[in-house]
């Protein structure tokens, strides 16, 4: 579909800008003076999963109805864990979640705490699946 590529590309561009902003923040914080590196590292360690977990929820909301593949199921399952299960991955009611075939290999009972690399890998696979599905309206 002609409309699918711009929508996915717009999402890629927006997410890339957010990831760059995060990495710029990390770089600036590591160079900051007046604060111990231990405190900076602790602040970044607390911020990273909150930031990337929220990006995952936003990604799911943006394309929830547009991907029905395995990666889309993984994204929905992770977003559901963050929104309804205190960040702990619950059993997949559809029974389709295959931990070993998943992008992040998280299993039932695991805590969802994404880092930049996890989010980038999941996002890349998810947007490729959405794009390939040609389901975008």
Q: What is the pLDDT of residues 39-53, one digit of tens each?
A: 777 888 889 999 999
How much is the pLDDT for 12?
Answer: 92
36, pLDDT greater than 50 = yes
Neighbour count for residue 23 (Cβ, 10 Å): 11
19, pLDDT greater than 60 = yes
Q: CA-CA distance, 127 to 107, in Å (whole number)? A: 22
């Amino acid at each position: 579909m002609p409309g699918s590529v711009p929508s996915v590309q717009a999402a890629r561009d927006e997410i890339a800008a957010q990831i760059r902003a995060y990495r710029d923040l990390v770089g600036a914080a590591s160079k900051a003076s007046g604060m111990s590196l231990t405190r900076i590292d602790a602040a970044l360690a607390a911020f990273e999963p909150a930031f990337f977990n929220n990006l995952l929820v936003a990604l799911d909301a943006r394309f929830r109805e547009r991907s029905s593949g395995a990666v889309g199921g993984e994204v929905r399952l992770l977003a559901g864990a963050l929104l309804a299960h205190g960040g702990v991955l619950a059993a997949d009611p559809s029974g389709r979640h295959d931990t070993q075939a998943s992008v992040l290999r998280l299993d039932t009972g695991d805590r969802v705490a994404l880092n930049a690399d996890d989010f980038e890998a999941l996002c890349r696979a998810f947007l490729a699946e959405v794009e390939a599905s040609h389901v975008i309206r």
